[in-house]
Amino acid sequence: MHEAHDFVRPATPLDAASLGAIHAASMRWGLTHALGGELPSDAVSQILPEEFARAWKHAIMSPPDPRAAVLVAVTDGAVAGFTAVYPLETTDVPPTAEITAFEVEPGHTRAGHGSRLLAAASDTAAELGAAGLTVWILAGDDARTQFFASAGFAPAGIRRILNVAGHNVVEHGWHAVLH
């Protein structure tokens, strides 16, 4: 019997293509569900894995904040998911960090990668001195909502509206206190 070798590590520029593919697929799925139907073709044409890969390569090589971290979940040598954690520049005391990306490849869900990524993101936030962690979740993404709720996150009572190809999409802020 073969057992997978699963772990989380810092992302490298060589991971960018995998991150781009995972992020594009996840975004298409999430926006389709948030809009309640088919994603407009002009939106689809803007969700390109190679564009995401370029952006992630830049974020890994030249992060906008040196304290930021991009982490990947690996299974049998392949990237199965990733997360990005950034310190928030606010007047909040104690400070908060934000999960700006949290994606697991569809074929690798329910295998513990999300839990490993969230634990690593929480550890990273704590190392930054953050006492809290925030994440934005698209309205209608019940699986993500259930995952974060089961991990101790709760609605923060805030939302933002994104315009996607002329359609409004709602994201809800969630927050957890780090111990």
- Length of the chain measured in residues: 179
> Contact at 8 Å (CB) between 68 and 91?
no
pLDDT of residue 1: 43
Cα separation, 9 vs 155, in Å, equals 29
Residue 160 in domain: yes
Residue 39 in domain: yes
Cα separation, 168 vs 150, in Å, equals 28
State the CB neighbour count (10 A cutoff) for residue 91. Answer: 5
pLDDT of residue 4: 60
pLDDT of residue 121: 97
Alpha helices in the chain (DSSP H): 16-35, 41-44, 49-61, 113-127, 142-150
Domain of residue 130, CATH code? 3.40.630.30
Q: Which domain holds residue 40?
A: 6-177
CA distance from start to end of the chain: 38
- Residues in the chain with pLDDT values less than 50: 1-2
Cα separation, 66 vs 140, in Å, equals 33
Counting the structural domains of the chain, the total is: 1
Q: Compute the chain's Rg from CA coordinates.
A: 16
Residue 1 in domain: no
Residue 162 in domain: yes
> Contact at 8 Å (CB) between 154 and 141?
no
Q: CA-CA distances (angstroms) from residue 8 to 3, 14, 87, 98, 120?
A: 16, 15, 20, 18, 7
Residue 81 in domain: yes
